[in-house]
Amino acid sequence: MPHGPTHVPSHGPTLASLAADLENGRTTARDLVEACLAKIADPAGEGARAFIAVDSDGARAAADAMDRLRKAGAAPSAFAGIPISVKDLFDIKGQVTRAGSKVLNGQPAATADAPVVARMRRAGFVIIGRTNMTEFAYSGIGINPHYGTPKSVWQREVGHVPGGSSSGAGVSVADGMAHGALGTDTGGSCRIPAAFNGIVGYKPTASRIPTAGAVPLSSTLDSIGPLARSVACCATIDALLAGNEPRELTPRAIKGLRLAVPTTVVLDQLDDAVAAAFERAVAALEAAGAQVTRIAMPEFDEVAGMLAKGGFSGAESFAWHRALMAKREADYDPRVVVRIRKGEAQSAADYVDLVAARRGLVARFAARCAPFDALAMPTTANVPPRIADLIADDDAFTKANLLALRNSTLINYTDGCAISLPVERAGEPPVGLTLVAPGGADSRLFEVAAGVETVVCR
């Protein structure tokens, strides 16, 4: 099976390089699992906060099974035996899905894997554990008062937020506790943790991948995507999640690539480090021959109004949570309750208007993007804030959360696909460059991103 370039970036092995090592007998699935388990268990590391549950016995048994199948020439795929993590939002047969909350602790264990989990298992990936997350996926920061907050890779001795809501997913990959992660993205929850931890995160066209078996945040906006160490790694996992066979990823040539930088909203209030890293990346692409055009994107101005009464997430999460909150609201994270409650004030007419407004927005956005191969913009407006500064200060938390979510949420509302690439240099705070295409253009976006990766990810 083709699986893309085999180069190994400085921050860890790719799925392709691991597959080659397994095929050539340089490692075994059991060795890979044991190495990940050791990193999770390291008391000096973030494993205790990055994971809500670790299935050591199940992972070892699955790894041994994949090693036997490979020895017999019957491995289900080239990736069989590679350990991945799964966000605590997904059903895994025999386990309770808590969604980063305490209020679901008493729920029965899942009777079946979520479809995306089942698809990864069928390819032979080994599920090493369930990763921590913002409670019910409702923030872009990653703080969890119930299970602790894993620290971003940046200045770990200080303690910066990991990004949310797929917080543990990002840290698990960045720290080598897993070699890929399943996350969700409703307003940036794959891309923000990727940006805050120096890895790659992908948000697919939402309709491509089934969301069954995942606790919903917004049935309209939810999408399921990977976090991994390279564009090719994300493309491999994305293909499997969509029920497809991974294919060779051919990077687009940078010379002549048509990129648009939106000047509306996404460049406002950038931290200095974000602005500098983003402009440096754009300049490098121009020097390599890309045609970069800065354009107004009036569609982005419309999204703030659509969010004014809580948007889709407010209405749809309140509908899902209202009965549970009537019994257990005191056990929720208060900051999550505030967001869910926004949906209570929406009327049926408000919601119908919102659906209609988005339909028009999606069409206009696609038309605006048509002349270009991709848009390029900063993933977040901010670098990861300090955890201590946000835990005790609701105003600081709200400001940081809005800055983290702002740019990525625009793409969920316009039904696009997007990928975040790390563009910081050694010693700098982590910064993500997001490439965007309209819904349905996932294959093209991966090719563009693979080309851009060779220029901006050093």
Average pLDDT of the chain is 96
Query: What would the mean pLDDT of 35-60 be, rounded to a whole number?
Result: 98
Summarised one tens digit per residue, pLDDT across range 420-440 is 999 999 999 999 999 999 999
Band (pLDDT 50/70/90 cuts) for residue 54 is very high
For residue 11, how many other CB atoms are within 10 A of its CB?
17
Examine the pLDDT at 276 and tell me if it is beyond 60: yes
Q: How far is residue 175's CA from residue 196's CA, in Å, rounded to a whole number? A: 13
Q: How do strand 291-295 and strand 223-228 relate by DSSP bridges?
A: unpaired
Q: How far is residue 105's CA from residue 88's CA, in Å, rounded to a whole number? A: 12
| Residues recorded for the chain | 458
Band (pLDDT 50/70/90 cuts) for residue 359 is very high
Q: What is the pLDDT of residue 7?
A: 35
> What whole-number percentage of the chain has pLDDT above 70?
98
Query: What would the mean pLDDT of 246-262 be, rounded to a whole number?
Result: 98
Q: For the residues of 315-366, what is the DSSP string, one character each?
A: HHHHHHHHHHHHHHGGGS-HHHHHHHHHGGG--HHHHHHHHHHHHHHHHHHH
Task: Pull the structure tokens for residue 300.
Answer: 């982005």
- Catalytic residue numbers? 87, 165, 189
Q: Find residue 87's DSSP bridge partners.
A: 131
Q: What is the pLDDT of residue 9?
A: 43
Examine the pLDDT at 10 and tell me if it is beyond 60: no
Q: For the residues of 297-322, what is the DSSP string, one character each?
A: -HHHHHHHHHHTT-HHHHHHHHHHHH
Band (pLDDT 50/70/90 cuts) for residue 253 is very high
Q: How far is residue 150's CA from residue 135's CA, in Å, rounded to a whole number? A: 14
Give the CA angle between residues 267, 364, 402 to the nearest 5°. 35
Phi and psi based region of residue 213 (left: phi greater than 0; alpha: psi -120 to 50; beta: remaining): left
Give the CA angle between residues 211, 162, 128 to the nearest 5°. 55
Query: What would the mean pLDDT of 122-143 be, rounded to a whole number?
Result: 98
Examine the pLDDT at 6 and tell me if it is beyond 60: no
Band (pLDDT 50/70/90 cuts) for residue 4 is very low
Q: Which domains does the chain have, with CATH numbers?
A: 15-241 (3.90.1300.10), 258-456 (3.90.1300.10)
Instruction: Report yes or no: 120 and 128 within 8 Å, Cβ to Cβ.
Output: no
Band (pLDDT 50/70/90 cuts) for residue 8 is very low
Instruction: Report yes or no: 81 and 124 within 8 Å, Cβ to Cβ.
Output: yes
Q: How far is residue 175's CA from residue 238's CA, in Å, rounded to a whole number? A: 21
Query: What would the mean pLDDT of 219-227 be, rounded to a whole number?
Result: 98
> What whole-number percentage of the chain has pLDDT above 90?
97
